[in-house]
């Protein structure tokens, strides 16, 4: 398996499986001491169409939200408002709709913290310039692969199961009902930044996004180099931008 396949396999598994004609069973390992796994099933394609939307649902934290669960609940309402706004519907409003979503992500999702955790111990070895570029590339890839899929949201039901707060950290566990019988478990890991809760990781059917990328990044750096990892991320970011915006 090439390092490019390893690096972005998680994104493809979650967002790009519509072309699959048969189901497969695959286990994706996660690093950082977290034993997460995911098993594809026959309803996997239906479930994964929602994944990116669910990631973004965690990102919105209005000033009035006081608990982690309220952050998630408020997020769902605000995202639905954007997606279902008639003034933002259709191809002519695509750019404005995306800009609204991007502002939500950049303001309220802790992407720098996600980046730092995803690079793990290799973060301390990087210069300020390297950290800045890596954060920009990783943020761009997440936005294209996951957050951009928010436009596919179509009113799936979310149920909040529990909330655990431990000092400045919190976990919100939920599930999403897709269709009549299919369910997707979604865990949100948040921390306090100042006086507000922000999301720094999301677990989907037991798979941590950050831990999965950390394992993949570490594997590429160990078998090749950090420079090789960044080169591949540059290529991937450029490809995703072309797919979204078309050739220039």
The answer to whether residue 58 is domain-embedded is: yes
What sign for the dihedral angle of Cα 235, 239, 244, 246?
Answer: positive
- Domain housing 81: 3-241
CB 147 within 8 A of CB 56: yes
Which candidate, 113, 135, 130, places its Cα nearest to that of 237? 135
Q: Could you identify the residue written with the tokens 């933002």?
A: 88
3-state secondary structure of 190: strand
Domain-embedded: residue 247: no
- pLDDT tens per residue, the chain (248 residues)? 444 444 444 443 344 333 333 333 332 233 333 333 333 433 443 444 455 455 454 444 444 458 998 887 777 677 778 878 889 888 888 888 878 877 776 666 799 999 999 999 999 999 999 999 999 999 988 887 776 666 666 666 778 999 999 999 999 999 888 777 788 898 999 999 988 898 999 998 989 999 999 999 999 999 999 999 999 999 998 988 887 766 55
Helices 209-223, 3-15: axis angle to 10 degrees equals 160
Answer yes or no: pTM beyond 0.75: no
Domain count, the chain: 1
Task: Judge whether 182 lies within some domain.
Answer: yes
Domain assignment present for residue 110? The answer is yes
CATH code for the domain of 221: 3.10.450.710
């Amino acid at each position: 398996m090439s390092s490019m396949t390893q690096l972005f396999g998680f994104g493809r598994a979650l967002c790009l499986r519509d072309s699959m004609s048969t189901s497969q069973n695959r286990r994706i390992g996660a690093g950082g001491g977290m034993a997460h796994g995911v098993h594809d099933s026959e309803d996997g394609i239906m479930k994964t169409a929602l994944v990116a939307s669910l990631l973004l649902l965690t990102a919105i934290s209005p000033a009035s939200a006081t608990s982690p669960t309220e952050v998630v609940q408020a997020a769902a309402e605000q995202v639905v408002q954007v997606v279902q706004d008639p003034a933002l519907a259709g191809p002519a409003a695509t750019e404005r709709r995306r800009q609204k979503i991007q502002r939500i992500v950049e303001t309220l999702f802790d992407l720098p913290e996600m980046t730092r955790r995803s690079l793990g111990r290799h973060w301390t070895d990087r210069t300020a310039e390297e950290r800045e570029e890596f954060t920009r590339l990783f943020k761009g890839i997440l936005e294209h692969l996951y957050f951009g899929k928010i436009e596919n949201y179509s009113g799936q039901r979310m149920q909040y199961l529990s909330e655990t707060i431990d000092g400045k950290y919190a976990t919100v566990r939920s599930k999403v009902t897709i269709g009549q019988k299919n369910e997707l478990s979604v865990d949100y890991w948040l921390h306090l930044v100042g006086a507000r809760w922000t999301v720094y990781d999301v677990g989907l059917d037991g798979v941590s996004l950050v831990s999965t990328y950390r394992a993949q990044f570490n594997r590429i750096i160990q078998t090749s180099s950090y420079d090789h990892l960044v080169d591949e991320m540059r290529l991937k970011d450029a490809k995703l931008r072309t797919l979204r915006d078309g050739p220039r």
